[in-house]
Amino acid sequence: MTEPPGVIAAQRPPFKVRLRDWLELCRAPNAFTAVADPLAGALVCGAGWRDTGRIIIVMLASAFFYAGGIVLNDWHDYKRDLRERPHRPLPSGRIARFRALLAGSGLLILGQVLASALETATGGVGLLLVAAILLYDVLLKEIPIAPAIMGLCRALNLVLGMTVATGEGSSAPAAYLAVVMGLYVLGITVFARHEAGLARKDQLLLGAAFTAAAMAMLASVVPLFRERGPSPLGLIWLGLLAAALGYRMARAILRPAPARIQAGVKLGVLGIILLDATLVGFFRGLGLSLLVAVLLVPAVWLGKWLYST
């Protein structure tokens, strides 16, 4: 009996591992969406230039948390990927599975070391984030609440940045914004649950509904918290995201082909940067929001060369 190509490739020892293989394993283009979260969190809570060093450290910690979580995700999904995604670095044999386990664990540890080097609160949020990542990757991915755990990871990532601001703050409703982020990512995760195969329309509709609810909640920030002074200019970023993502998701729902679903998922993940830019635009102005939105440039550029879903 002939073995599937992915199985044969996985049995070959990886004699040469390229930097490109590791960047693909870590989903390097999407790492910019991860660092956008703590940057936005710090800015909406009043961080200024004096906090630059602390923000950079927490952004690096976030990148390590994200990369470690993604690597462990692929380590855990190895057998499934042999069937569904044999081109990925682990099932194709380009990176050995034990190396991925060591690398993923080391990245999470490094992220926690950086987070703990700042505030006690930052270290505590980092520990919660590591716990949520491991719960999702290793234990609870197959159960119905798994997308909510992924949303929790992103909400905690936003809060990670909020803990490093030393300014007086901007009176941003931090808990509300964290819920918005978690709900948005929950929706993208539900939408992506079967991106490599045939997804049901009701599942895609549910994912799109969660995402739309998150964007509606974010648009409601201006009237709900008007006494705190949110600027309506943040709606520029939110409008761009809603238009582009709505179009992609609608196409996938009308004809749930894997390529269309993956295109919607990719845009949804990159759209986290615009969501973060919206937060900053509301509470710190359009100028500072550009510091977040500009992260789309390297994310999109790298995404042309590296697989990112």
pLDDT tens track for 17-27: 688 999 999 99
pLDDT top residue among 138 and 238: 238
Residue 38 has pLDDT above 70, yes or no: yes
DSSP one-letter string for 111-166: HHHHHHTS-HHHHHHHHHHHHHHHIIIIISTTSTTHHHHHHHHHHHHHHHHHTT--
Greater pLDDT, 273 or 309: 273
| pTM for this predicted structure | 0.89
Q: pLDDT tens for residues 54-94?
A: 999 999 999 999 999 999 999 999 998 898 889 899 999 99
Q: How far is it, in rounded angstroms, from Cα 114 to Cα 189?
A: 28
- Give the DSSP letter of residue 15: -
Asked if the model's pLDDT at residue 7 lies above 90, the reply is no
User: What is the band of 277 on the pLDDT scale with cuts at 50, 70, 90?
Assistant: very high
Question: In the predicted model, is pLDDT for residue 169 greater than 80?
Answer: no
Q: How far apart are CA 305 and CA 42, in angstroms?
A: 31
Please give the Cα distance from 47 to 32 (Å, whole number). Answer: 20
Mean pLDDT of 286-305: 93
Q: In the prediction, which pLDDT does 12 show?
A: 43
